[in-house]
Structure 1
Amino acid sequence: MWTWPLFYFAACDLGYYKSSPGDQLCSKCPPFSLSDTLASQICECDTNYYRCSTDPPSTACTRPPSAPINLISSVNGTTITLDWSPPRDTGGRRDVTYNVICRRCAWDAGQCEPCGGGVRYTPQQMSLAKTSLTVANLQAHMNYTFWVEAVNGVSDFSLEQRMFSTVNITTNQAAPSQVVVIRKEKTAENSVTLIWQEPDQPNGIILEYEIKYFEKDKEMQSYSTLKAKDTRAVVTGLQPSTRYVFQVRARTSAGCGRFSQTVEVETSKGMALRYDTMTIVWICLTLISGLIVLLTVIICKKRHCGYSKAFQDSDEEKMHYQNGQITLAESKVYVDPHTYEDPCQAVRDFAREIEASRIKIEKIIGSGEFGEVCYGRLKIPGKREVPVAIKTLKVGYNEKQRRDFLSEASIMAQFDHPNVIHLEGVVTRSKLTMIVTEYMENGSLDTFLRSRDGHFTIIQLVSMLRGIASGMKYLSDLGYVHRDLAARNILVNSNLVCKVSDFGLSRILEDDPDAAYTTTGGKIPIRWTAPEAITYRTFSSASDVWSYGVVMWEVLAYGERPYWNMTNRDVINSVEEGYRLPAPMGCPTALHQLMLDCWQRDRNERPRFSLIVSILDKLIRNQEHLKLSSTLNRFTHPRLDRGLFDFASCATVDDWLDSIKLGQYKDNFLMGGYRSLGMVMRMNINDIRRLGISLIGHQKKILTSIQIMRAHLINTLGPRMHL
């Protein structure tokens, strides 16, 4: 009788297992597991490694993932967007999802509490498959902390604390919440009186309420609106015995809230009139005759006495929707306060007056042309304090200085956009005249970037640029031309939100070292200004686009000075001859190409800000286009900055390194085999790093020098020269 060999039924050795008895061979334990006894049916996981219930014994043991990386946030009012990258270590599993925890923190002591149920998460708060999330319905001017943790199928088995990334944000101003309670106070034949309560979250000072009303079932045919300053309004001009539908919403300087739920009110019945047909005909004829006489009188008055404003309906008070078409007042257009005969009237028309007692100045943070710039807090009635920046007018001013000081406030007061600095108001009725704006914790963009060279991802930098472009699109749509767009005039808050600021070009440039006189007088910032604006003082949205291209270069170069140490005259001549700034180190090709598009000589060929915003949005959504950077970029007939790089005296690599004051790296280049300038000019950023040059500033200086040498040779020998 045949018998199976004994080894078929032998027990498995240490480090091997067999999931069930039988004639199958023993299997080696999967990674991160071990069998420490003979005849094991399963290999136990190593310390801190696990299997979930659905993993077969043949599966390697896994562990929880590390924390997500590159967590960034963007803030738009009371809505934030979080983006992050997957963890570097997924724990060996593919079922990684993400949870987001939100906590609201008070201003004073870091006391935090859960955000509560009113917050809306899109697509969801827990078990996210994607690496992005939008959080809405947050409170205005409030601190929040968000934890983003990565989890997988074995995270629940681990006793160790989960790994997460955190980000702290502060929400901006926001529109008020919905008006909830609205009711009828009384009705008449032709009017209805309504009263309501202030929104639970005004998010600022309520400027006015808007009442929308229409006959029931006729909203698509006709509706009207009425504005009111208080929580009570009388709506007149209604029809007797007619059911109307009413809604109310509130407006602050940040915009309008949502309309309330509808409330239906029926007007009172009119008095019944009983006349025969002939009497009605006579009444109609009499009314028509009277109307003709009235029209004749009005026409006569208009011809001989001028047109009285008393006969005009206020576009601000009512808006009508007839025959499927809505009739609105003209779209908002920027009004230049300098066109006012009395510039102080512009301040009264546009800016909100703040009582000096509501402002608490805490410290001086800088100085301006007219006085000091301070940090302080503004107390909003019925609400908590908010941080603000305060520009003060120094003692001993004359009336002209005061008007010039307040003119910027009357400009800012007309703007309302998340990427434009927000004016809280002015103080003109106290001894100290002040302009009060929102507080931007990180100061000016150029200084902020220089102090954090190389600290941000390319997505973070593009997000900053997108915010600036969005603010400029808003200003351009209003018809406002900035004329001094530069990184020094962009402010950055704690959430890395960039906001366009500094709307006082005419006075600020007088002491600007980057400004130069033109033939027509005045000063302009040469390094940021379009050629047509320098030559003809022709400023437009297109010249702002040119300036935006320079801002892009500043951001990607971490606040480096455009055109380095070139003189203003050399900049003008070089740009006129076709020279354009090369791409900063590590700049993706797509972004440098957008800069070059902004620097088109023909202003009609430059992209509009709306297109720039669209392009940046696409790059953010398709980040693979931001991974490509070009070392050899497009140059056209450059002029060299002899003050920075003097190549005429450079015959060797050592001479060149001495000319850029980096002679300490001579041995690095010699050991790397770079013995001629021709070999140096073939180098890219990776070659520079391989030489052991670790300082980012020195890497950038070497690469910039190589790019300029290349451009010089292309200019000298022709564009077909091959390096």
Structure 2
Amino acid sequence: MPSNYTGACKPGSFKAFAGNTKCSKCPPHSSSHDQAATVCHCDKSFFRALKDPSTMACTRPPSAPRNVVSLINDTALFLQWMPPRDSGDRKDLTYNVLCQRCDTADSGLTQCEPCEPDLRFIPKALGLTGTSVAILEYAVHANYTFHVEALNGVSGLGVAARSLANITVNTHQAGPALVGVVRKDWATENSIALSWEQVEQPPADIVDYEVKYYEREQEQLSYSSTRTRTASVVVTGLRPSTVYVFHVRTRTTAGFTAYSPNFEFSTAAEDPDVADQGQVLVMVTASVGGFSLLVILTLFLLITGRCQGYIKARMKSEEKRRTRFHSGHVPFSGIKTYVDPDTYEDPTQAVEEFAKEIDPSYICIERVIGAGEFGEVCSGRLRLPGRMDVPVAIKTLKGGYSEQQRRDFLREASIMGQFCCTNIIRLEGVVTNSRPVMIVVEYMENGALDSFLRSRDGQFTVLQLVDMLRGITVGMTYLSDMGYVHRDLAARNILVDKNLVCKVSDFGMSRVLEDDSEAAYTATGGKIPIRWTAPEAIAYGKFSSASDVWSYGIVMWEVMSYGERPYWEMSNQDVILSIEEGYRLPAPMGCPVTLHQLMLHCWQKEAGQRPNFTDVLSFLDKLIINPGSLLTLANDAQSLTDSPEDLPDYPLFISIGDWLDSIKMSQYKNNFLAAGYTTLDSISTMNTDDIRRIGICLIGHQRRIISSIQSLRLQLHHIQQNGFQV
């Protein structure tokens, strides 16, 4: 017998494997009562998971979560809770959120059933590792009971009751009553106009309405939806002679209402006269030999190459049309493809294809509100038969125009007419058969975003500004999915309606910007808005969705600075050189650090490293759902990261003079020196009151200096982290 043989293990110890190894003491909450034990059995109410080794202590299920609270914020219901007091001595703690909707019957008994399936939990309902969840699309005037369950690796192995914490939430305060009767105002072969009224005055502000619809024969197997800010909508892309089912619900600042009852309406039948006219035309053409003539002419044009562009555009257009009306539903984003009007041999064909002709007698011009590139811009009303008056903006083409000017003017309409998105300016139609030639679009009461923000400096919450940015992102995501590159995305080209909905406009960037004060000639021979344009587009004329993302980052800066001019009074050449050297705009005053980080991400030098608009939209949605992430401001010294790799590459300054020169504010050098601010470190501690105290009174100059001080803090923090001396 070997000398190191220890014999059989005594009670209270075990040996997992036979051999000349020592016995081990039983792990906590386990024991062995016999000699020669190979495993220690768990004590009562303690367990091992299947994957737990025998050397691991026995554990138990967690106790229930604590202090579950609810909060209705914006369009979500938030639940938060504290971890259980007893985790069961395990680290693999997760949570499930279970939902019941309970209503009191006429008999007085409360009946509960599982919540509606379209209730959305973000990030999810089961397997949560955090202690909070957001619930979207809940109904108002309802009682929800949420059960928050704590679990770990040994939950379910015992017979103990589940570890649940319960909370009942009454959503009576979460929005208005149901939508009233939905009416059909008019219908065509491919569209239906609807309107409705609220049953009662809502206790919360209405954000918008969601209209859900599907073909009756589909039995909701496939449905589409659209949103509108007003209590009316025109649903397009429908099939002729088809019955559709509609129901509407309201979204308020507190949440969604339940859907209205179903309403069924039919589209109009196809006009047989159109088919008859087509048949007559074919017969007449055949009788005079027109078909042969058409073939000869087509062959001639193909040889000369003159009709190639037209055929290409027409094929794209027909393909787009088939996609649009497939299954009777408006296609989802990304299915439709933008057709460049320049691919048509005759641009007039593009206008006829994508823009509706309006009888000028239906247009009532009320007043001039501005001047456009081609003529005056007026406000007025569109009075279509059988439809309520619609406020519109009318662009007119001034007299004495050339045919090329007429084509350039109408080109924007042929572009706008291809878009259908709540955050893209809507084209009502055009007037081309009489003078003046007009483009009619929806009226945006608050005008351009940059001037709107300048006139309301500091009046909005950060969450409201983020919501504006989200609207712009939705519009740009739509355009990007269609394959359209805007090229001139800027706050001046974003329009704002009375409900603060932001819509992308101005689709004429391909024209030469002769009269644009923001434009400058580039190496490529074109004229583009330098301050908003990506470096590769300035240097090489490479416009893409990625260059639009760069421009979007500048728009973000404009919004968060309430309409400040990007790069202030720097010349266009200085802007180009500064960007090439790595300079990026600092965070505006009061800007959350998360938003400035997103701006910097949009301003990556390499286009392939920038986010796409879908990524930006997802990021903003997360910020809105978790508004606490917007509380940390970029100028908060405590928010600075200790990782130099995460800091933007700002240029280094050696003296106060260098710093002021870089922001074109050298006239204030003596103000700083006279007040005792002689080092960059002392300047980095200054705030707005300090700036005002040393005699800088212009608000715009105060802001520019404070914004630059924030970037200076980042620079100094970087230096300190790396052990340098200023």
Sort the TM-score into its range (normalised by shorter chain). Answer: 0.5 to 0.7
With the length of structure 1 as denominator, give the TM-score of the two structures.
0.56
Q: Deviations over 1:206-261 (max 9, x none)?
A: 76642xxxxxxxxxxxxxxxxx3xx4x8xxxxxxxxxxxxx5579xxxxxx99987
Contact between 1:518 and 1:534, CA under 8 Å: does it hold in 2?
A: yes
Q: Identify the match of residue 585 of structure 2 among 578, 581, 599.
A: 581
For 1:12, the equivalent position in structure 2 comes to none
Distance apart, 1:380 and its partner CA: 2.7
Residue among 628, 634, 640 paired with 1:630 = 634
Q: Does 1:619 align with 2:619?
A: no
Q: 1:595 is aligned with what amino acid?
A: M
In 2, the alpha carbon distance for the partners of 1:136 and 1:722 equals 66
Letter in 2 for 1:681: S
CA contact (8 A) 1:316 1:329 kept: no
Matched, 1:679 2:682: yes
The residue that corresponds to 1:558 in the other structure is 562
Q: Distance in 1 between matches of 2:366 and 2:668?
A: 56
Aligned to 2:460: 456
Quick check: 1:366 aligned with 2:370? Answer: yes
Counterpart residue number, 2:480: 476
Change (3 A) 1:133 1:647: same
Which residue of structure 1 aligns with residue 399 of structure 2? Answer: 395
Shift of 1:709: 5.5
SS of alignment partner, residue 566 of structure 2: coil
Q: 1:480 is paired with a residue of what secondary structure?
A: coil
CA contact (8 A) 1:638 1:715 kept: no
Distance apart, 1:704 and its partner CA: 2.5
**In 2 relative to 1, CA 712–590 (structure 1 residues): closer, same or farther, beyond 3 Å?**
closer
Distance 1:551 1:531 in 2: 16
- Maintained 8 Å contact 1:376/1:387: yes
The structure number with the bigger radius of gyration is 1
2:572 maps to 1:568: yes
Q: Which moved more, 1:506-515 or 1:346-355?
A: 506-515
The 2-side partners of 1:372 and 1:142 are apart by 35
1:541 aligns with 2:557: no
**1:123 pairs with 2:139:** yes
Cα displacement (A) at 1:330: 9.7
- Shift of the alpha carbon at 1:129? 5.3
* Alpha-carbon distance, 1:527 to partner: 0.8
Name the residue aligned to 1:706. Answer: 709
For 1:575 and 1:607, locate their aligned partners in 2 and report how far apart those are by CA, in whole Å: 19
**Kept after mapping to 2: 8 A contact 1:346/1:410:** yes
Q: Aligned partners of 1:678 and 1:373: how far apart in 2? A: 52
Task: Quote how far apart the aligned CAs of 1:341 are.
Answer: 0.6
3-state DSSP class of the match of 1:406?
helix
8 Å CA contact retained: 1:389, 1:438: yes
| Counterparts in 2 of 1:700 and 1:260: CA distance versus 1, 3 Å | same
Secondary structure at 1:642's aligned position in 2?
helix
Which residue of the other structure, out of 578, 598, 603, is the alignment partner of 2:602? 598
Matched, 1:339 2:343: yes
Instruction: Indicate conservation of the 8 Å contact 2:448/2:493, yes or no.
Output: yes
Deviations 1:292-345 (A, max 9, x none): xxxxxxxxxxxxx99xx9xx9994698589xxxxx9999310000011110011
8 Å CA contact 1:122–1:133 kept in 2: the answer is no
State the SS of the aligned residue for 1:376. strand
For 1:317 and 1:454, how far apart are their aligned partners in 2?
Answer: 43
| Alignment counterpart, residue 650 of structure 1, candidates 666, 669, 675 | 669
Q: Superposition pairs for residues 501-540 of structure 1, below 5 Å?
A: 501-507=505-511, 509-540=513-544
Deviation of the 1:168 alpha carbon: 7.6
3-state SS in 1 of match to 2:510: helix
- Structure 1 contact 320–328 (Cα < 8 Å) conserved: no
Say if 1:353 and 1:428, in contact at 8 Å, map to a contact too.
yes
Query: Counterparts of 2:723 and 2:449 in 1: how far apart (Å)?
Result: 39
State the secondary structure of the residue aligned to 1:506: coil
Q: In structure 2, do the counterparts of structure 1 residues 419 and 258 end up closer, same or farther at CA, with 3 Å as the change threshold?
A: farther
Which runs of structure 2 are paired with 1:194-593 in the superposition (5 Å)? 209-210=238-239, 228=240, 231=241, 247-248=243-244, 315=322, 331-507=335-511, 509-593=513-597
Structure-1 separation of matches of 2:541 and 2:531 = 15
Judged with a 3 Å threshold, the aligned counterparts in structure 2 of structure 1 residues 144 and 382 are, in CA distance, closer, same or farther, namely same
CA separation of 1:653 and 1:510: change in aligned 2, threshold 3 A: same
Does structure 2 conserve the Cα–Cα contact (< 8 Å) formed by 1:543 and 1:603? yes
Structure 1 pair 689–573 and aligned structure 2 pair: CA distance change class (3 A): closer
Partner secondary structure for residue 543 of structure 1: helix
Q: How far apart, CA to CA, are the structure 2 residues paired with 1:435 and 1:562?
A: 31
Task: Give, as a single letter, the amino acid of the residue that structure 2 aligns with 1:638.
Answer: P
CA shift in 2, pair 1:330/1:208, >3 Å: closer
**Partner SS state of residue 566, structure 1:** coil
> Structure 1 residues 715 and 564 mapped into 2: Cα distance closer, same or farther (>3 Å)?
farther
Summarize deviations over 1:102-121 as a string: whole Å, max 9, x none.
xxxxxxxxxxxxxxxxxxx9
Give per-residue Cα distances to partners, 1:436-473, cap 9 Å, x unaligned. Answer: 11111100000011111111000000000111111100
The verdict on how the C-alpha distance between 1:132 and 1:527 changes in structure 2, with shifts beyond 3 A counting, is: farther
**Other structure's SS at 2:511 match:** helix
Look up the SS of the partner of 2:513 in the other structure: helix
Q: 1:630 to 1:689 in 2, by over 3 A?
A: farther
Q: SS of the counterpart of 2:475?
A: helix
Tell me the SS of whatever aligns to 1:505.
coil
Confirm or deny: 8 A CA contact 2:237 2:325 kept in the other structure.
no
Find the aligned partners of 1:328 and 1:83 in 2 and give their Cα distance: 28
**Distance in structure 1 (CA, Å) of the matches to 2:631 and 2:434:** 55
8 Å CA contact retained: 1:422, 1:438? yes
CA contact (8 A) 2:486 2:548 kept: yes
Give ranges in structure 1 of 5+ residues lacking alignment: 1-69, 73-80, 85-120, 150-165, 183-200, 211-227, 234-246, 251-256, 264-304, 322-326, 656-665
The answer to whether the Cα contact below 8 Å between 1:178 and 1:259 also exists between their aligned partners in 2 is no
Structure 2: how far apart are the matches of 1:435 and 1:557?
33
TM-score of the pair, normalised by structure 2? 0.56
RMSD across aligned C-alpha pairs, in angstroms?
Answer: 4.9
**Equivalent residues of 2:592, 2:633 under 8 A apart:** yes
d(CA) in 1 for partners of 2:140, 2:212:
25
Structural mapping, 1:37-52, within 5 Å = none
1:393: how far off? 0.8
CA distance in structure 2 between the aligned counterparts of 1:328 and 1:422, rounded to whole angstroms: 18
Instruction: State how far apart, in whole Å, the 1-side matches of 2:351 and 2:261 are.
Output: 29
Partners in 1 of 2:325 and 2:634 — Cα distance? 57
Does the 8 Å CA contact 1:391/1:436 hold for their aligned counterparts?
yes
CA contact (8 A) 2:524 2:539 kept: no
Please tell me whether the aligned partners of residues 585 and 685 of structure 1 are also in contact (alpha carbons under 8 angstroms).
no
Instruction: Give matches, 1:101-116, under 5 Å.
Output: none
Identity of aligned residues (%): 51
**2: distance between equivalents of 1:328 and 1:616?**
21
Equivalent position of 1:216 in the other structure = none
2:263 & 2:175 partners in 1: Cα distance? 28
Question: Secondary structure of 1:481's partner?
Answer: coil
Give the 3-state SS of the residue equivalent to 2:394 in structure 1.
strand
Which moves more between the two structures, 696-705 or 436-445? 696-705
For 1:243-283, what per-residue CA distance to the aligned partner results, in whole angstroms no more than 9, with x for missing partners? xxxx5579xxxxxx9998799xxxxxxxxxxxxxxxxxxxx
Residues 431 and 328 of structure 1: CA distance in aligned 2, closer, same or farther (over 3 Å): closer
